[in-house]
Amino acid sequence: MNIIQYTEDHHRFRERLKVFLAREVTPYADQWESERMVPREIWRKMGREGFLCPSVPQEYGGLGGDYRYALIVSEEMSHTWITGLAAPLHSDIIVPYIQSFGSEAQKRKYLPGCVSGDIVTAVAMTEPDAGSDLAGMKTTGVADGDDIIINGSKTFISNGVLCDLVIVAATDPAVENKHQSISLYIVDAGTPGFDKGKKLDKMGWHSQDTSELFFNNCRIPASNRLGQPGGGFLMLMEKLQQERLTCALGGVAAAERICEYTLESCRKIEINGKPLIKQQAVQFALVEMSADIKVGRTFMEKLVEDHVEGLNIIVETSMAKYWATDLPNRIADRCLELLGDYGTLESNPIARARRDARVMSIFAGTNEIMKNIAAKFMGM
């Protein structure tokens, strides 16, 4: 019995997405990696075809679909061998904040553009001195009449260069309790006082536009706040389950592609006239990696179904995030050893996959933080 319960709509969505990615993304993956950026137009193309924000209700332009669509997108995009087009971040992590906590006016203003690809989103939490610790945040949002004035800086912001709006976490210094001082604000690109910094040159995810963001007396209307003042921390906590699960989807899908490619390569590469795959040590390694991946997929798929049902699985998703994002790192390392010199060539996707996999255990809360969270919930 399959764990994931797909409908005909899911299957049709997957087939359309396969065709789209094969035509519009995969042929350009190497070019975009070399150029260190995906073009803005690919976001619009993806949106026009209905592949962004599938969970957004139909009244705002979306499909009104469930979270199973997120799994389909992660799986199919993994076949492109490119991480720069961060559609899961946009669709399944950032836009849900507006969808869940936005006012009706905010939803009507922003959601249709998020679905169509005319609006690319980013979320700004990480700061130079704060890291994963939200309580250490220094960016401030201070009320001034009907406005909010934001001051501070953020770093390692994915989609930071191309973003049209960013959801900014900021604190009110007048509130002593740090967690109760955090609010979330929608800041549009081009707002005076909001400046995008340089694109960061990273060891992986080369075509993904990660940058610094700066706010210097950035004045926005108070109506751009999501929810009530001081409600930001609870909003972030509520959405972390889906964020961590989304990371787990990407981790399992990446591990699968790496192992599949290595298996096929071992059929073709010959040593002393004998394919690598006929060597017992190589066979054992591939079997062990395949078993790990199947375990990870079973755990991940069970959590997807639980999440769709609305269950509280914050402990399990914290576990899944650390385990499933460590997985492609382990798999890529071992596959690189199997392929030897061939695996180190830049023309080999394993070299790119190894670089790209490393950050997965760091973003969205480091895997050490995930273990801390699980330990606390387990009463340790």
CATH of the domain at 48: 1.10.540.10
Q: Output phi, psi for 23, to 5 deg.
A: -90, -40
pLDDT above 90 covers what percent of the chain? 77
Domain shared by 133 and 98, yes or no? no
Interval 12-28 mean pLDDT: 97
Tally the domains of the chain: 3
Domain shared by 81 and 33, yes or no? yes
How far apart are alpha carbons 47 and 134 in whole angstroms? Answer: 32
CATH of residue 357: 1.20.140.10
**Residue 3 lies inside a defined structural domain of this protein:** no
Domain shared by 95 and 136, yes or no? no
**Residue 200 lies inside a defined structural domain of this protein:** yes
**Residue 372 lies inside a defined structural domain of this protein:** yes
Could you tell me if 324 and 254 are in contact, meaning their C-beta atoms sit under 8 angstroms apart?
A: no
Interval 329-356 mean pLDDT: 89
Q: How far is CA 377 from CA 267, 315, 323, in A?
A: 46, 7, 17
Domain shared by 261 and 302, yes or no? yes
Interval 113-122 mean pLDDT: 97
**Residue 269 lies inside a defined structural domain of this protein:** yes
Tell me the pLDDT band of 334, cut-offs 50, 70 and 90: very high
Q: What is the pLDDT of residue 133?
A: 65
Q: What is the pLDDT of residue 136?
A: 76
Q: Of the candidates 69, 89, 119, which is a domain's last residue?
A: 119
Which range is least confidently modeled, 106-115, 208-217, 346-355?
A: 346-355
Domain shared by 358 and 300, yes or no? yes
How far apart are alpha carbons 312 and 314 in whole angstroms? Answer: 6
**Residue 53 lies inside a defined structural domain of this protein:** yes
Q: What is the pLDDT of residue 89?
A: 94
Q: Is the pLDDT of residue 250 over 80?
A: yes
Q: What is the pLDDT of residue 131?
A: 62
**Residue 325 lies inside a defined structural domain of this protein:** yes
Beta bridge partners of 153: 214
169 phi-psi bin (left φ>0, alpha ψ -120 to 50, beta other): beta
Beta bridge partners of 171: 140, 182
Domain shared by 61 and 163, yes or no? no
Q: Which residues are catalytic?
A: 243
Q: Of the candidates 76, 102, 119, which is a domain's last residue?
A: 119
Structure tokens at 323: 């385990």
From 215, 108, 199, 116, select the one nearest 167 (Cα to Cα). Answer: 215
Domain shared by 264 and 373, yes or no? yes
CATH of residue 221: 2.40.110.10
What is the distance, to the nearest Å, from the Cα of residue 127 to the centroid of all Cα atoms in its chain? 18
Domain shared by 248 and 346, yes or no? yes
From 57, 94, 50, select the one nearest 72 (Cα to Cα). Answer: 50
Q: Of the candidates 209, 229, 249, which is a domain's last residue?
A: 229
Domain shared by 292 and 367, yes or no? yes
The residue segments making up the domain with residue 109 are 8-119
Question: What digits encode the pLDDT tens for the residues 184-218?
Answer: 999 999 999 999 998 989 888 888 999 999 999 99
Question: What digits encode the pLDDT tens for the residues 3-17?
Answer: 999 999 999 999 999
**Residue 1 lies inside a defined structural domain of this protein:** no
Domain shared by 216 and 198, yes or no? yes
Q: What is the pLDDT of residue 256?
A: 97
Domain shared by 33 and 140, yes or no? no
**Residue 261 lies inside a defined structural domain of this protein:** yes
Buried b (16+ CB within 10 A) or exposed e, 169-198: bbbbeeeeeeebbbbbbbbebebeebebee
Q: Is the pLDDT of residue 340 over 80?
A: yes
Structure tokens at 182: 């955090």
How far apart are alpha carbons 113 and 234 in whole angstroms? Answer: 26
Radius of gyration of the chain (CA): 21
Which range is least confidently modeled, 38-52, 87-101, 119-133, 345-359?
A: 119-133
CA atoms within 13 A on the CB side of 322: 16
Interval 177-190 mean pLDDT: 92
Domain shared by 297 and 222, yes or no? no
Pairing, β 165-171 against β 147-158:
unpaired
Question: What digits encode the pLDDT tens for the residues 266-296?
Answer: 999 888 888 999 999 999 999 999 999 999 9
